[in-house]
Chains A and B, each alone.
Chain A
Amino acid sequence: MQALLAYLDPGSGSMLLQLLLGGAAAVGIGFKMTWRRMLRFLRLDKKQSDPEAPAA
């Protein structure tokens, strides 16, 4: 998947900031992202066994 990676490191913090700067339009996405993280934290995420999912 080399071709899909940018040559520039976008920076994790910079990407998160783009979500925070999104205002109202980003609320739903932010909520969904937090929800998914919470499920993963509680090990309730169905995709835990998905081989494509990151190990962490």
Chain B
Amino acid sequence: MFVRRLGLALAFVLASFAPAAPTGAADAPEVVIGSILPLTGASAQTGAGLRTAQQLAADLVNGHVSYPLPMAGKSGLPRLGHARIRIVFADSQGKPDQARAAAEQLITQDHAVALIGAYISSTTATASQVAERYGVPFLNPDSSAPSLTARGLHWFFRTTPNDATFAENFYQFFADLKKTKHVDVKKIAVVGEDGLFGTGASDAEESIGKKLGYDIVARIAYPATTTEVNAEVQRVKAAAPDVVMMASYLPDSLLYMRGFKDQGVQPKAIMAQDAGFIDPGFIKAEGKDAEGVFTREVFSLDIKHRNHAVPLIDQLFRQRFGGKPLDGNTARDFMGVLVLADAIDRAGSTKPDAIRGALQKTNIPGDLTLMPWKSIHFDASGQNDGGVGIIEQVQDGKYETVWPFDVAVKPVVWPMPAWKR
């Protein structure tokens, strides 16, 4: 019977699942860090940039040229006999279950002493759970969902500020404006796409705003893939807010901008949570209508006067990545590798417990990083409590840093210019 043959063939073949051959042993002493990134799928382009940034950081740690950055140029990890760090990359494909498998492979097969990743919050969630189970430190440089550090995990550390911090930044910005420009914001409309990003950002904006006594006059969620926003715009118009906070991707951000303009919705400011609003296509498509739009950002090349490594690293990155400049994602991933290297070195050992202890004691001053942060220091939940975002505003066709005022390069323009008819 053919079926019997097929069954036996399958059985034979299944039995041939050999355990994977051990990967080639390293010649020189090296410390393996596992990195989980979306290297295929929808975010593949971002993933490629993150990989380049992480590898650049590793090369600098292993190299001889020193920069005003932690662990750069010490020819490896001095306290471990100048062992080199080697990053092994694994593909999450943008899916939580694949991220889990990738993390497991990195730990069990590649013997990674620590993991870094994974950009997309849902993949970070599952990968870090694997790390928790195996007792391996997991450093997250780039996922902003607040829930990630609310899980009570012991092995999870996050350097980037999360959406709650960014929302707080908006309100700190308003408070600062009140002091300096006597600007009074009262009514706020919160608009966000209905996925994880938009919901997380909108939730934070709404709850913090309410706590501080602002009047949240509208809370609008919409399907991210929508092709029209007529109803949403009408709702915002009916609420007549002073400020509209937006968490949108590029196609929807364009729809909203046009809708606001056409329907005469003229808030004093539009505050965006990154994403679509910082896509290069945004200013290109909107032209003059983009003037005055604010966005929170995690990074800007403007802050080079804080640390002159910023343009140098930007230059190195561009050489490796087809001329594209360093941005918030790649800068954070770059720093993530350095933070790990710093902790492993301070631990003086590759034992997970030691590395975790060293991570808990991390205290890197902000101007020794590429970021506009106060410091890198992890609180009890693993969140970096020294992180802070910056706020940029479109002025003369490009985003300029306007807040915090000590890193600003241009003054705030308030209110945003009226729509030009």
Does A associate with B in a complex? no
Q: List chain A positions with a Cβ less than 8 A from chain B.
A: none
Chain B contacts to A: CB under 8 angstroms: none
